[in-house]
Chains A and B, each alone.
Chain A
Amino acid sequence: MKRFSFHLILGLTMVLLLGGIAHAGEWEDIKKQARGQTVYFNAWGGSQPINDYIQWAANEVKNDYGVKVIHVKAIDIAGVVSRIMVEKSAGKNEGGSVDLMWINGENFKNMKSNALLYGPFSQKLPHYALVDVENKQTTVFDFTVPVDNMESPWGMAQLVFMYDSQRLDHPPKNMTGLLEFAKKNPGRFTYPGIPGFHGTTFIKQAMLELCADPDALSRPVDEQAFDDLTRPLWDYLDALHPLMWRKGKAFPESASKMIPLLNDNEIFISLSFNPNEAANAIANSELPESVRTYVHESGTIGNSHFVAIPFNASAKAGAMVFANFLLSPNAQARKSDPKVWGDPTVLGMDKLSPAQKTLFDAIETPEATLPAKALAKVLPEPHVSWVTALEKAWLDRYHQ
């Protein structure tokens, strides 16, 4: 028995060791292949702080791994998906124009279901082991779609609201409170137009708060029940819109466009997907020091954003090396600093070495940001089918 267990342990150790060696060996091969490659990283390019961060990361991997990363500044990642689709239509199965892309949600679902992605690959990245997959569920389910290692987590997002504390003493605590605010301050709230990503999130948040049966949202849309379930939402929006900025006849193009509006007091309450957006915008002098962040009592929708490699990428090894670097504690800590970008990390603090952890502890939390405790209540995204259904219904009602 003893002998048996000894052999078992020996055998297991061997397997683990060999597996580890094989794993490390594979990564060594990838690193070797990557050296000298050029990675075209297609990512939204609307923010100089984010562009600067990507440039910093590109310089780091150039020095450490000999991988050249070029940031292709996209205005909408769906346009990049279209380009990959055209390449697939034309039978271009290698030598594609995109090596790595910033992605999540519907775009990911589409690329995954149309076999436009390379992978699974994220499990091969050494730093992936540090990702907090246990507590940060959205790193493994992207808008309820299983990630299956087809994309590598990059950052966390949560719907937050921003307000100017000089204009407003007590921000609303829920959707009903928001309506009360709008009644007292007509024209001083808005949300981005549908089908923009942020606008849709606001609608989903309202739906989660107002719907009689929030559990129904975690299941695929039931067309028969849809009208009944969404009735409170439309009643709410019917009441809110006339009290909104431009009487709900015009909507900002995106959440970014609401920052100048908040700065100029065109609106008193704005929203963002980044809890540190206000802090970053203050550091960048885009918003006054008096801006603060808040979330609704019942919690707000959270999700993750990722990087993915298209099926026909020209520099897959280089893309993996860059994706791995983006997951490194050093890169993640820098990213989560509100002075740099303020994008929350995907890593688990309990998985880091003490030295790695100090990188995160060193980051100051400015007053404009919410403490981690306040952000603890994260609502899961509704089932992905709700996005299209809600967007369509919204457009039918308000787009004329």
Chain B
Amino acid sequence: MTNNLKSGKLSIFPLFIWISFGITILAGAAGVILPSLDFFPAAGQTRLSFDPWITLFKSPGLVQSILVTLFTGLAATFCSLCLTLLFVSLFYRSPVWQWFEKLLAPILSIPHAAFAIGFSFLIAPSGWIMRLLSPHVTAFEVPPDWVLVNDPFGITLTLAMIMKEFPFLIMVTLSAASRLRIEPTLHVGQSMGYQKEQVWFKVLVPRLYPHLRLSVYAIIAYSLSVVDMALILGPSSPPTFAVYILKWFNDPSISYKLVAAAGSTLLFAMVAGTIFMVHMIEKLAGYAARRWIVNGTRRSPLSRIKFPLSGAIITLIACTGLSTLILVVWSFTLKWRFPEALPTAWSAKFWYRGLADMQDPLVMTLLTGACATLISMVMVIGCLEHDALQKQIRRMDSVFYTFIYIPLLIPQISFMAGVQLLLVIFNLDGMWISLVWSHILYILPYLFITLKATYLDFDPRVYNQAALLGKSRYRAFFGVKLPMLLRPILFSAAIGFSVSVAQYIPTMLVGSGRFFTITTEVVSLAAGSDRRAVAVYALIQQCLPMVIYGLAILLPKAIYYNKKGMH
């Protein structure tokens, strides 16, 4: 009885999300779809037609742009997933794994744009690697004219996305690990003569994948519609589809804004279609693998790739590390020309300058990120608690969980333009509270992805025990359950915060350019030429989430220093 009563009260949380997300998504969708049908009153276009679509399909290089987008998106997702599954099955709990686990938080905290900038400074024909090798090894006095960055097939872009998404999937795997009963399964499997890798692929991966599924979809959506990384590393003529859309959106002539809207609708369809296709492949693969799972083979060929795989992983991590290091070097540079291995003149003036300029944006970033994360976290915990209590009767339907991921699936620029229109109509544009709300739209899904499994897995007996011992439901929740879940909650809050830090388009559009965050400063400066200043700003952008991740890891240890089981 009490359970029902409590969950009844808690249903305010999902209800609130349904309504608020519903209105925003409808506005965003209308803001995309109506202009794509030639409806744009500001330019006097009020007659519906398919003209923007016709222009879209006639756009030069469209097919190639779409193909390269699909290729990079699918290849990045597929490779990240394969790497994750192979890594976990070959190295779980090994020293390499533990080492990687320690590096995970700093790697995850690197914003995509900052990473892309560092990576391009590293691998370009005039990048650091080539500078270190020239002229002694390569005999190059001037940089070779090689297409290493901005290659027409988007291979560099794909590699960079793998480097960012693979650690994310490992993190999700870690948070799901508690539910998989990995150790006992491995014991049983191995005692039956199965190689460890075989147990993983036959028993554990099929159980792990459902926990990864939403993250895989998020990666598909992200990598198909990514703009910042694609601008820096992706092909340029034609660019990836999302960049193409951005160029239309920023074209001075109004008719192209309508084409941008049609393009956004198409990109959304591409994302939805790809996810549907992957969903079907999952089903097929599950069906096809059924016989293989029970065919009794105990030996796995996978153990042979252990060495190359560890090499690949170490290379990935080294590249990530070097990409940050090169930013540090550039940030202290005054003069540095190819092929010098290191700057010929150093200076700290860009740091003085950057730190002085960054004070106000830093406060704004912290305040917005903290508020948006806090509100999102309250809503997510409210929903999950509602869900946990409903367990026996009726689990929240998957429709709800699909619904809250929609903001991640719609190309941001057009979606936000639609949201902006709604805000302007209600005179809410340029207000800080609207800005916070726009960040919540993007934080909330990530909190669900990272927290859901652990939260719903919380042993209800602990909770019931506390209640039986005379505590009220509230006190059991705040005094027992939340403290016990502090570590995963803080970690997922750190992810939410870093999502907020990275938001550029919502901050500019919804905030009407009234609010300056670290990211708005980084992005505006990155449009210019000065690598030294950009490096300083990118590092500052990178530091903030890193500090927050550090706190998320250290705080539980500090708070529960005398309670070993809570670490």
Contact assessment for A83 and B420 in the assembled complex, using a CB-CB cutoff below 8 Å? yes
Q: What distance in Å separates the Cβ of B146 from its nearest Cβ neighbour in chain A?
A: 8
A159 in contact (CB, < 8 A): no
Contact assessment for A90 and B524 in the assembled complex, using a CB-CB cutoff below 8 Å? no
| Residue numbers in B under 8 Å from A82 (CB-CB) | 249-250, 257, 417
Give the residue among A88, A90, A261, A400 with the most B Cβ atoms within 10 A.
A90
| Residue numbers in B under 8 Å from A395 (CB-CB) | 59-61
Q: What distance in Å separates the Cβ of B230 from its nearest Cβ neighbour in chain A?
A: 11
A399-B237 CB under 8 A given contacts A85-B43, A97-B429, A285-B345: yes
A265-B253 CB under 8 A given contacts A83-B420, A253-B231: no
Beta-carbon contacts under 8 Å, A249-265 to B = 249-251, 253-254, 256-261, 263-265
Q: What distance in Å separates the Cβ of B126 from its nearest Cβ neighbour in chain A?
A: 4
Q: What distance in Å separates the Cβ of A385 from its nearest Cβ neighbour in chain B?
A: 11
| Residue numbers in B under 8 Å from A12 (CB-CB) | none
| Residue numbers in A under 8 Å from B525 (CB-CB) | 45-46, 48, 73
Beta-carbon contacts under 8 Å, A219-275 to B = 245-247, 249-251, 253-254, 256-261, 263-266
| Residue numbers in A under 8 Å from B526 (CB-CB) | 46
Chain B: CB-nearest residue to A110 = B252
Cα of A64 to Cα of B357 in the assembled complex, Å: 23
Over the window 71-114 of chain A, the binary record of Cβ atoms lying under 8 Å from chain B Cβ atoms (1 yes, 0 no) is: 01111101111110111111110000110000001110110001
Contact assessment for B42 and A245 in the assembled complex, using a CB-CB cutoff below 8 Å? no
Over the window 245-272 of chain B, the binary record of Cβ atoms lying under 8 Å from chain A Cβ atoms (1 yes, 0 no) is: 0010111111001000000000000000
B425 in contact (CB, < 8 A): yes
Segment at the A interface, from B157-165, B362-370, B527-535: B527-535
| Residue numbers in A under 8 Å from B250 (CB-CB) | 76, 78-79, 82
Contact assessment for B152 and A250 in the assembled complex, using a CB-CB cutoff below 8 Å? yes
B4 in contact (CB, < 8 A): no
B147 in contact (CB, < 8 A): yes
Contact assessment for B237 and A193 in the assembled complex, using a CB-CB cutoff below 8 Å? yes
| Residue numbers in B under 8 Å from A74 (CB-CB) | 513, 524
Contact assessment for B236 and A251 in the assembled complex, using a CB-CB cutoff below 8 Å? yes
Q: What distance in Å separates the Cβ of A249 from its nearest Cβ neighbour in chain B?
A: 6
A180 in contact (CB, < 8 A): no
Over the window 518-555 of chain B, the binary record of Cβ atoms lying under 8 Å from chain A Cβ atoms (1 yes, 0 no) is: 00110111111111010000000000000000000000
Beta-carbon contacts under 8 Å, B301-354 to A = 334-335, 337-338, 345, 347, 353
| Residue numbers in A under 8 Å from B427 (CB-CB) | 92
A73-B237 CB under 8 A given contacts A86-B417, A259-B529: no
B28 in contact (CB, < 8 A): no
A348 in contact (CB, < 8 A): no
Contact assessment for A284 and B424 in the assembled complex, using a CB-CB cutoff below 8 Å? no
Interface residues of B, CB < 8 Å — how many?
A: 66
Contact assessment for B60 and A399 in the assembled complex, using a CB-CB cutoff below 8 Å? yes
Give the residue among B151, B253, B531 with the most A Cβ atoms within 10 A.
B253
Contact assessment for A265 and B338 in the assembled complex, using a CB-CB cutoff below 8 Å? yes
| Residue numbers in A under 8 Å from B514 (CB-CB) | 40, 72, 97
A250-B150 CB under 8 A given contacts A45-B527, A260-B531: yes
A81-B252 CB under 8 A given contacts A90-B421, A251-B236, A264-B338: yes
Contact assessment for A246 and B528 in the assembled complex, using a CB-CB cutoff below 8 Å? no
Q: What distance in Å separates the Cβ of B405 from its nearest Cβ neighbour in chain A?
A: 26
Contact assessment for A86 and B421 in the assembled complex, using a CB-CB cutoff below 8 Å? yes
- Contact partner of B238 (CB less than 8 A), chosen from A79, A114, A264, A399, is A399
A195 in contact (CB, < 8 A): yes
Give the residue among A107, A260, A264 with the most B Cβ atoms within 10 A.
A264
A48-B527 CB under 8 A given contacts A86-B424, A114-B254, A265-B338: no
Cα of A256 to Cα of B345 in the assembled complex, Å: 22
Contact assessment for A85 and B236 in the assembled complex, using a CB-CB cutoff below 8 Å? no
Q: What distance in Å separates the Cβ of B157 from its nearest Cβ neighbour in chain A?
A: 12
- Contact partner of A40 (CB less than 8 A), chosen from B42, B347, B508, B513, is B513
- Contact partner of B337 (CB less than 8 A), chosen from A47, A97, A253, A263, is A263
Contact assessment for A79 and B334 in the assembled complex, using a CB-CB cutoff below 8 Å? no
B509 in contact (CB, < 8 A): yes
Beta-carbon contacts under 8 Å, B95-122 to A = none
Q: What distance in Å separates the Cβ of A102 from its nearest Cβ neighbour in chain B?
A: 13
Q: What distance in Å separates the Cβ of B181 from its nearest Cβ neighbour in chain A?
A: 50
Cα of A82 to Cα of B508 in the assembled complex, Å: 12
Contact assessment for A253 and B236 in the assembled complex, using a CB-CB cutoff below 8 Å? yes
Cα of A86 to Cα of B513 in the assembled complex, Å: 14
Cα of A209 to Cα of B513 in the assembled complex, Å: 41
A27 in contact (CB, < 8 A): no
Cα of A387 to Cα of B247 in the assembled complex, Å: 16
Contact assessment for B421 and A89 in the assembled complex, using a CB-CB cutoff below 8 Å? yes
| Residue numbers in B under 8 Å from A88 (CB-CB) | 42
B125 in contact (CB, < 8 A): yes
Other 7 A-B pairs with CB < 8 A, given A72-B514, A400-B61: A46-B524, A48-B525, A74-B513, A89-B421, A247-B145, A288-B337, A395-B60
A-to-B contact residues, CB < 8 Å:
40, 42, 44-48, 72-76, 78-83, 85-92, 97-98, 105-107, 109-110, 114, 186-188, 193, 195, 245-247, 249-251, 253-254, 256-261, 263-266, 281, 284-286, 288, 388, 395-400
Name 27 interchain pairs, CB-CB below 8 A, sorted by A: A45-B525, A48-B528, A73-B524, A74-B513, A78-B249, A78-B251, A79-B249, A80-B513, A83-B420, A83-B509, A83-B512, A83-B513, A85-B257, A86-B424, A91-B425, A97-B430, A110-B253, A114-B254, A188-B145, A195-B251, A249-B147, A250-B236, A256-B528, A265-B141, A266-B145, A285-B345, A396-B60
